Amino acid sequence: MHPFTYARAADTREALDAGRRGGRYIAGGTTLVDLMRETVERPETLVDISVLPLREITVTKSGGLRIGALVSMAEAAAHRGVRALYPVISQALELSASAQLRNMATIGGNIMQRTRCTYFRDVTADCNKREPGSGCAAREGFNRSHAILGTSDQCVATHPSDLAVALAALDATVHLRGPDGERTLPFADFLLKPGSTPNREQDLRRGELITDVEIPAHPRPLKSGYLKVRDRQSYEFALTSAAVALHIRGGVIREAKVAAGGVGTVPWKLPAVERALIGERPSGRLWAEAAGHAADGARPLTHNGFKAELLKRTVERQLSTVGGTI
Ligand code: SF4
């Protein structure tokens, strides 16, 4: 591990001052400390923000949710309002990591976590995300777990967060505070596809902090859930996953929110699937037809071609689980 200095910010102003000077924010530390041990990350200054007042979960008057960036994954998953309004969020969190990690890791840190591409974590391998311009060992290497959607010639790594898939499905927004004021971004714009700059993963300006994420109110009743397919049933990242939320009234699907994980360089919204559902009556045939669009545009690599079919089946099964049939 490279030498670094550590400071604990007493309040938001202190944190932002340190961030403006180039300090790296740390709270749960469950990703960053691992990467520092492996010398993948080499920050000169860590700014501990764990005492900032960002630990509230608020159910808004309209029926949406605001979750503070420093709420732990475990707290968010267990929160009565989260479970009642958006079970897809609770399920995505509970299917992530281990109980110990969920107690430590925060919501802000979860969506900031970095890829699990093994070449990214191996400092002897070529990796454009870690060392821009060095190449991408995964393209010609073992790429079974890599992305089939949103890739570029520069990088094919998946985004690892389950929570982010649920947030993308629900059209969440991210609230930021920085040295120059506050900003709010659609979650879909916050995480960046690799393009020609895979080292740049979020639309964050120097010194900006995530303060909370907001899930807008959706029409009620809203049924939702998360399905994660992986090589083993715990403490493993997704090969494919599906976050689904459906508003069904009068036997007709009025609103459909669907996103996939484990397949994209960012959480992957599935608008073609959503369009195929809206205005239709739930049925086994509908789920299969809609899910048939899930892998539209996929560009498989040498070892991950199976993900296209697995994704369709994952989405079909989760549509059936959430929507049932009439
Ligand atoms: Fe690096 Fe991305 Fe290639 Fe993995 S896929 S080696 S993270 S550039």
Alpha-carbon gap, residue 28 to 48, rounded angstroms: 9
Contact 269, 259 (CB under 8 A): yes
Report how far ligand 1's centroid is from the alpha carbon of 244 (Å): 29
**How remote is the CA of residue 36 from the centroid of ligand 1, in Å?**
18
- Residue 62 pLDDT level (bands cut at 50, 70, 90): confident
Beta strands 268-269; 173-178: pairing state: unpaired
What tens digit of pLDDT does each residue of 85-130 get? 999 999 999 999 999 999 999 999 999 999 999 999 999 999 999 9
151 pLDDT higher than 70:
yes
How many residues comprise the chain?
326
Note the pLDDT tens digit of each residue in 171-217: 999 999 999 999 999 999 999 999 999 999 999 999 999 999 999 99
**Model pLDDT, residue 316:** 98
Q: Does residue 117 have its Cβ closer than 6 Å to ligand 1?
A: yes
Percent of all residues in the chain with a pLDDT value above 90, rounded to a whole number: 97
The pTM assigned to this predicted structure is: 0.97
Q: Is the CB of 198 under 6 A from ligand 1?
A: yes
Can you list the domains of the chain with their CATH numbers?
Answer: 1-52 (3.30.43.10), 223-323 (3.30.390.50)
Task: Give distance in angstroms: CA of 104 to centre of ligand 1.
Answer: 27
* Secondary structure class of 27 (helix, strand, coil): coil
Is residue 25 within 8 A of residue 209, CB to CB? The reply is yes
Cα dihedral 309, 272, 247, 64 in deg (nearest 10): 100
Q: Give the separation between CA 66 and CA 175, rounded to whole angstroms.
A: 10
Query: In sequence order, what are the beta bridge partners of 185?
Result: 174
Give CA–CA dist 45/292, Å, rounded: 48
Q: How close is the Cα of 143 to the center of ligand 1, in Å?
A: 10
Ligand 1 pocket check for 137: Cβ under 6 Å: yes
Query: Residues 6 or more apart from 197 whose CB is under 8 A from it?
Result: 132, 154
Q: Whose CA is nearest to atom 3 of ligand 1?
A: 136
Q: What is the DSSP string of 42-108?
A: --SEEEE-TTSS---EEE-TTS-EEEETTSBHHHHHH-HHHHHH-HHHHHHHHTSS-HHHHHH-BHH
277 CA to centre of ligand 1 in angstroms: 35
Distance (Å, whole) CA 88 – CA 64? 14
Write the Ramachandran bin of 254: left for phi over 0, alpha for psi from -120 to 50, otherwise beta. Answer: alpha
Cα 54 to ligand 1 centroid, rounded to whole Å: 33
**Closest ligand 1 atom, CA of 194?**
2
- Identify the residue whose C-alpha is closest to ligand 1 atom 2: 155
Angstrom distances, CA of residue 101 to CA of 7, 96, 156, 235: 23, 9, 26, 10
Q: For residue 10, give Cα distances in angstroms to 18, 40, 50, 53.
A: 11, 28, 9, 10
How far apart are the C-alpha atoms of 94 and 234, rounded to whole Å?
10
pLDDT surpasses 70 at 326: no
Mutate to test the pocket of ligand 1, among 38, 40, 114, 115 (most ligand atoms within 8 A of CB): 115
Tokens of 308: 């296209």
107: number of Cβ within 10 Å:
28
Task: Kindly report the protein residue whose alpha carbon is nearest to atom 7 of ligand 1.
Answer: 120
Q: How far apart are CA 229 and CA 314, in angstroms?
A: 7
Span from the CA of 13 to the centroid of ligand 1 (angstroms): 36
User: 209 CB under 6 A from ligand 1?
Assistant: no
Tell me the best of 129, 159, 303 to mutate to test the pocket of ligand 1, counting ligand atoms within 8 Å of each CB and taking the most: 129
Any ligand 1 atom below 6 A from CB of 238: no
Report the mean per-residue pLDDT for the chain: 96
What's the N-to-C CA distance of the chain in angstroms?
58
Average pLDDT over residues 264-280: 98
| Pocket of ligand 1 contains residue 147 by CB under 6 Å | no
* Tokens at 255, concatenated: 């609103």
- Residue 269 CA to ligand 1 center (angstroms) comes to 22
Q: Which helix (H) or strand (E) holds 228?
A: strand 223-229
